[in-house]
Amino acid sequence: MLAGEAAVSFDPVWWGFHVSLNRHAVKFLMNNIDELKPMLKKLHKKNPRVGSIVQLYIELRKWWVKLIDQGTGIRFSSPWLVPGALVPTVWHDGEAQPPPTPPPGDTALWWAAWENGKGWGTDMRFPSHHSVAAPAFSVTNNNTFLCLHRGGHDDEHLYLTVFKDGAWSKDEKLPEEHCSPAGPGMAWHPQHGLFAIYGRKVVSYPLHWTRRSGDGISGTWDQARPAGDAYSLWRPALCVTGDKLVCVYTDTTVGIQGRYPVTWMEMDLSHQPWTWTKPQEVHDGMMSQHAPALTAATDGVLVCAWEELGKVKWIIKKPDANAWSVPQEVPGATTNRGPAIAYCAETHNEVNLAFVTHSGDNSLSLVTADVQDFTNYRVREWNAPQQLPHHSSSVTPAVTFGSYRLEGGGTNKQIVCVHRGYSK
């Protein structure tokens, strides 16, 4: 298909099917749908009741498409049980830069650390690292920080930087095939190295994944491989729990009024070949307008957080369970982007779970909690949101827990946040 040509595709899935029209096919449909009127008049004369139903059906679909169309394409979806449903949703055909366009301003990456009782330190600028999208942030078992991000402005390549010897290393560009209009997801495994996942800039933005074996800091990246039947326009979240690699993402192929189901899949690393499970919704009705976040807590419990109608929700999955539990709301937390989340094991400072959220004025806030029992949502204390002073970002941040050694022995835990800047 050439750019500018009308195209229609049929995509069957296990529960039903999609009929996707690119922007030119939508325009053709809307410009020519009235040509059906003479045929409908004939049908109405033969069978007034059926004719009226068909005419009403077409008029409703025309009105619905006109109401939601953003000039990027429309996808009609139907379950097999009701094939005529054809519910229209906004779809991006991949012909142009995906909306929304990142706001102008500071594309540099910044980072800051927080300690209980001390608050946030100074926001520090990466030396020469830029991104227009949300970065990914991880830490190894020897407390080495890794940041994976796409480039600034029109640069869609992926880059890795490592914090060592008190400074961030020069950006290392991943091989040319690893490109994404959105931010990537990343997770580090002590035996299998560093994993990355991202949406490719083709129709529907299929997720692809790659790995760098060894310590993940040096070596050769694997060739990109499709991540099953998974698609997302936004940054996916990746996490390691035991020998499972888990991905949570917003499935932007199926949506209702700009909100999309939060979906998950996993890959068992204990035996070859490595394959992703079939994607499925985390919880029925769990929808978001932004990218979700994911972390692994104590005893292999997974914790997922997402934005839902301006609130921050979180949900857990026990390691021996096939399904996720019932979603809960983070008290007092609001956000207009996807939140970031991190868990800290073996902490003695009464904080072991952290959320960083994003507000309408591009400021960032921290919500912390002391969770006694993740499996039963038993929280000893929620701490009220604290705004990060003089820290602002135009996109979703990334966060993790780290530690450093004290002069007198022992270690101290800290929350480290990486974010893109913002200039008003």
Q: Is 39 helix (H, G, I), strand (E, B) or coil?
A: helix
Q: Stretch 149-153: mean pLDDT, rounded?
A: 92
How far, CA to CA in Å, does 417 sit from each of 133, 141, 197, 271, 389?
A: 15, 18, 20, 34, 13
Q: Is residue 76 part of a domain?
A: yes
Preceding peptide of 273 cis, ω within 30°: yes
**Number of domain units in the chain:** 2
- What torsion do the CA atoms of 188, 174, 292, 152 make, to the nearest 10 degrees? 140
Q: Stretch 78-104: mean pLDDT, rounded?
A: 69
Q: Is residue 278 part of a domain?
A: yes
How far, CA to CA in Å, does 256 sit from each of 14, 74, 245, 287?
A: 19, 12, 29, 9
The Cα 204–Cα 211 span in angstroms is 23
Q: Is residue 58 located within the same domain as residue 192?
A: no
pLDDT at 367: 92
Q: Is residue 83 located within the same domain as residue 128?
A: no
Q: Is residue 183 located within the same domain as residue 59?
A: no
Q: Is residue 245 part of a domain?
A: yes
pTM over 0.85: no
Q: Which domain holds residue 266?
A: 108-420
pLDDT at 2: 39
pLDDT at 50: 60
The Cα 368–Cα 116 span in angstroms is 10
The Cα 182–Cα 180 span in angstroms is 5
pLDDT at 295: 96
Other Cβ atoms within 10 Å of 78 Cβ, number = 16
The Cα 13–Cα 9 span in angstroms is 13
Cβ-in-10-Å burial (0-12, 13-18, 19+) of 406 comes to exposed
Q: Is residue 68 located within the same domain as residue 185?
A: no
- Residue of higher predicted confidence among 127 and 57: 127
Determine what percent of the chain is predicted with pLDDT higher than 90: 45
Contact present, 22 and 96 (Cβ < 8 Å) = no
CATH number at residue 123: 2.120.10.10
Q: Is residue 126 located within the same domain as residue 219?
A: yes
Selection from 94, 79, 89 nearest residue 12 by Cα = 79
Q: Is residue 50 located within the same domain as residue 157?
A: no
Contact present, 294 and 304 (Cβ < 8 Å) = yes
The Cα 36–Cα 33 span in angstroms is 6
Is 24 a residue whose pLDDT tops 90?
Answer: no
Q: Is residue 76 located within the same domain as residue 129?
A: no
Running DSSP on this structure, what letter comes out for residue 70?
-
Q: Is residue 3 part of a domain?
A: no
Q: Is residue 247 located within the same domain as residue 362?
A: yes
Selection from 125, 128, 96 nearest residue 111 by Cα = 125
Q: Is residue 100 part of a domain?
A: no
Alpha helix positions (H), 33-168: 37-46, 48-68
- Residue of higher predicted confidence among 60 and 323: 323
Tens digits of residue pLDDT in 261-289:
999 999 999 999 999 999 999 999 899 99
Running DSSP on this structure, what letter comes out for residue 175?
P
- What torsion do the CA atoms of 206, 178, 186, 106 make, to the nearest 10 degrees? -100
Backbone angles phi, psi at 202, to 5 degrees: -135, 180
Q: Is residue 99 part of a domain?
A: no
What type of residue sits at position 205? Answer: Y
* Helix 48-68, helix 23-32: angle, nearest 10: 140
Q: How confident is the model at residue 394 (pLDDT cuts 50, 70, 90)?
A: confident
Tens digits of residue pLDDT in 247-265:
999 999 888 878 899 999 9
Q: Is 27 helix (H, G, I), strand (E, B) or coil?
A: helix
Q: Is residue 1 part of a domain?
A: no
